[in-house]
Amino acid sequence: MGYCNVNEAGLIVEANLTLATLLGVARSVLMRQAPFSRWVLPEDQDIWYLLHRELLSGGAPQTGELRMRLHQNAAPLSGPAAFLWVQLAVTVAPSAAGEPILHLAISDISARKQSEAKLQLAASVFDHAREGIFITDPRGTILDVNASFTRITGYSREEAIGQNPRLLQSDLQQSALHAALWRALTTQGHWSGEIWNQRKNGELYAHLQTVSAVRDAHGTTQQYVALFSDNTTLKAHQSHLEHMAHFDALTHLPNRLLLADRLQQAMAHAQRRGDQLAVVYLDLDGFKAVNDRYGHGVGDQLLIAIANAMKGALREGDTLARIGGDEFVAVLVELEGAESCVPLLARLLQAAAAPVVLGALTLQCTASMGVSFYPQELEMEADQLLRQADQAMYQAKLAGKNRYHVFDTAHDSHLRGHHASLKRIRLALAQREFVLHYQPKVNMRSGRIIGAEALIRWQHPSQGLLAPNIFLPSIENHPLALKVGEWVIDTALAQIETWQAAGLDLPVSVNISAYQLQHPKFFEHLQAILAKHPQVNPAKLRLEVLETSALADMAQISQLIEACRQIGVQFALDDFGTGYSSLIYLKNLRVAQLKIDQSFVRNMLEDPNDMAILKGVIGMAAAFKREVIAEGVETEAHGIALLQLGCELAQGNGIAPSMPGSQLPSWAASWRPHAAWCTQAKAG
């Protein structure tokens, strides 16, 4: 026990080692004439003050309980601090000098105070808990219950004490559950789970219950404590929420969320069993007219009736879901093949089209249905199946309604491949994967290089250099063709600038697609691109169009060619001779040049018909005063034959293959025509 003496001023004048140890301080610190109140918590200062005053006024010995602060690392005692509960026994006696001295005997009662606090807390929890609590002896006899027990069960404390918890048992509870409960209590000391019990008034209720065994130091069970909470309302609310989350509020059919889950399960089941399933997307024909004419109330009743009829047409295990408005989805499972679902589809159509009597009204709709099957050759997700069925449903609508249409997977595969190509080409354009190669054009007789044709290539990161016939067909008649075409013009003009800076002055011809040529803003866009390259004379740019491209709108193309000619840009008719109206072109289109298609040039030496066509084309060009150039010159002999016919201008691999723009200056510096070409006499 700790002891200390305190003088009339409240200062410690003597203290033993036990007190110093209790407070966690050296005895010398206590002996520094510090006030005793320094070691008392602020909340308990009044207790010490009253004890001190009572004794100094001549009162009898006093006792009291208060909290004393523990010294922490000899730091000043301020702010929150650790403390211990002590009991003070205080007496007073005069000192040798005659002044009163208080003798304090100090006992540590912290352990007792903690036990009291725990008991008080337990009692408070027991009395005020919202959960029902009952305590039993080891045999299961109820010893005590709290107020919430009475509120939940209807049994008073007096009615419950001395009874067995079987008092609450309902017929819904299985004996196996009670056996499991006692087995868990015996082996583990606790059990928790859901129980259906019965109130005093006979009403059934569900509650979550936890039972724990209270054991002594030797492990012997002294009591069982059970806590339970009534969750009947919660379960009903949860059930209602689950129904709302998974079922359509009007028809009570599965909604989109539950459909997704069932479709996933059906797909997994089909994979395991090796059978098929069908996804049927249904849209009611004529429902909107009924809704608009008779109102939403009648429309809702019609939807309910049709939904019930269609559900009745399906087999057990099939699913019919409403996914919004007048749209439904059926999942038909365990099909031996696509043909086996035909009777089901017929029954669905018949059910949807059955007349519905609503009071004095007799209403009728039909259904358009799209069908997709699973599994397919390609891996397929649930949402893809739904999209396929949706697309097929629209085909059924277009075909006349009140019918079904099966999704065409082969056609869809082609479309998806086309869309993937468009996406990849758009990415290639953005990432600058396209390049231009240039094939020189020459005068075979003089050896003069008269220009070059820009030819697009795709420098694919994994497939290497791709020719235009690999990717250009994918963008034919697509807006992407316009962007690619404008890129070609812009890049060709930039190349002309680069060549001019290196001392090479060459015109460049660019191929223009029909889609680009017929765009209403073609001329405006062309002017904008030319404006970006002010160092290039527009006359250095020649636009090559296919003969067949110009046939679509002769008047428009003629005006466009004239507008371009006014700013210096010339046109050439590419692949001339392959169309059907060459004379009309020559008469109405002021093109500067005709390009003889290489198919005629390639076989001219062996095929008299090709030679005759060449003579005719060259003759027409001369008659209409048009420049003519031959494509596809592969050999020296081709050149000699063309020169003899009066065609001096040519391009082809026999002259030079297409090459990157950076290589053309060095080729131009070293190229010489065949000697036989230079010695050919001019055609008369």
Q: Is the pLDDT of residue 74 over 50?
A: no
Q: Is the pLDDT of residue 583 over 90?
A: no
Lowest mean pLDDT among 177-181, 456-460, 612-616: 177-181
Top pLDDT among 150 and 241 is at 150
Q: What residue spans of 220-286 are helical by DSSP H?
A: 232-246, 256-273
**CA 585 – CA 581 distance, rounded (Å):** 6
Output the CA angle 476-518-468, nearest 5 degrees: 30
pTM over 0.85: no
Please name which of 416, 513, 522, 519 lies closest in space to residue 473, comparing C-alpha atoms.
Answer: 513
CATH T-level topology, domain 439-456+477-678: TIM Barrel (3.20.20)
pLDDT of residue 440: 97
Contact assessment for residue 652 and residue 444, using Cβ atoms and an 8 Å cutoff = no
Extents of the domains making up the chain: 2-114, 129-235, 247-407, 439-456+477-678
Please name which of 466, 474, 552 lies closest in space to residue 517, comparing C-alpha atoms.
Answer: 552
Helix (H) or strand (E) holding 389: helix 382-398
Domain 2-114 class, CATH top level: alpha beta
332 — pLDDT class (breaks 50, 70, 90): very high
Q: What is the pLDDT of residues 376-388, one digit of tens each?
A: 888 888 888 999 9
The number of CA neighbours under 13 Å toward the Cβ of 46 is 1
pLDDT of residue 439: 96
Residue 88: Cβ-neighbour burial (10 angstroms; 0-12, 13-18, 19+): buried
The set of residues, in sequence order, having a beta carbon less than 8 Å from that of 433 and lying 6+ positions away, is 458, 459, 460, 461
Q: Is the pLDDT of residue 171 over 70?
A: no
How far the first Cα of the chain sits from its last, in Å, is 141
Q: Is the pLDDT of residue 114 over 60?
A: yes
| Eight-state DSSP code of residue 249 | T
Q: Is the pLDDT of residue 240 over 70?
A: no
Q: What residue spans of 12-64 are helical by DSSP H?
A: 17-23, 27-30, 45-56
pLDDT of residue 580: 46
Lowest mean pLDDT among 190-199, 423-432, 597-606: 190-199
| Eight-state DSSP code of residue 551 | G
Please name which of 148, 177, 143 lies closest in space to residue 161, comparing C-alpha atoms.
Answer: 143
Q: What is the pLDDT of residues 121-148, one digit of tens each?
A: 776 677 777 788 888 888 888 888 888 8
Instruction: Count the neighbouring beta carbons within 10 Å of the beta carbon of residue 20.
Output: 19
**CA 4 – CA 103 distance, rounded (Å):** 6
Which contacts qualify for 311-315: CB closer than 8 Å, 24 or more apart?
311/253, 312/351, 313/344, 313/347, 313/348, 313/350, 313/351, 314/344, 314/347, 314/348, 315/344
299 — pLDDT class (breaks 50, 70, 90): very high
Region 205-220 average pLDDT: 82
Q: How many residues does the chain have?
A: 684
3-state class of 331 per DSSP?
strand
Top pLDDT among 576 and 585 is at 576
Q: What is the mean pLDDT of the chain?
A: 86
Top pLDDT among 624 and 540 is at 540
pLDDT above 70 covers what percent of the chain? Answer: 90
CATH architecture for residues 129-235: 2-Layer Sandwich (3.30)
Strands 132-136 and 12-15 turn out to be unpaired
b/e string for 444-468 if b means 16 or more Cβ within 10 A? bbeeebbbbbbbbbbeeeeeeebee
pLDDT of residue 76: 43
Q: Is the pLDDT of residue 607 over 80?
A: yes
**CA 439 – CA 509 distance, rounded (Å):** 10
Residue for token digits 């010489």? 672
The CATH number corresponding to 247-407 among 1.10.287.3510, 3.30.565.10, 3.30.70.270, 3.30.70.120 equals 3.30.70.270
Top pLDDT among 290 and 241 is at 290
414 — pLDDT class (breaks 50, 70, 90): low
Please name which of 353, 380, 350, 352 lies closest in space to residue 278, comparing C-alpha atoms.
Answer: 380
Please name which of 516, 436, 511 lies closest in space to residue 475, comparing C-alpha atoms.
Answer: 516
The reply to whether 2-114 and 129-235 are identical in fold is yes
105 — pLDDT class (breaks 50, 70, 90): very high
| Eight-state DSSP code of residue 23 | H
Q: Alpha carbon of 531 to those of 20, 482, 487: distances in Å?
A: 97, 18, 14
683 — pLDDT class (breaks 50, 70, 90): low
Q: What is the pLDDT of residues 310-331, one digit of tens each?
A: 999 999 999 999 988 899 999 9
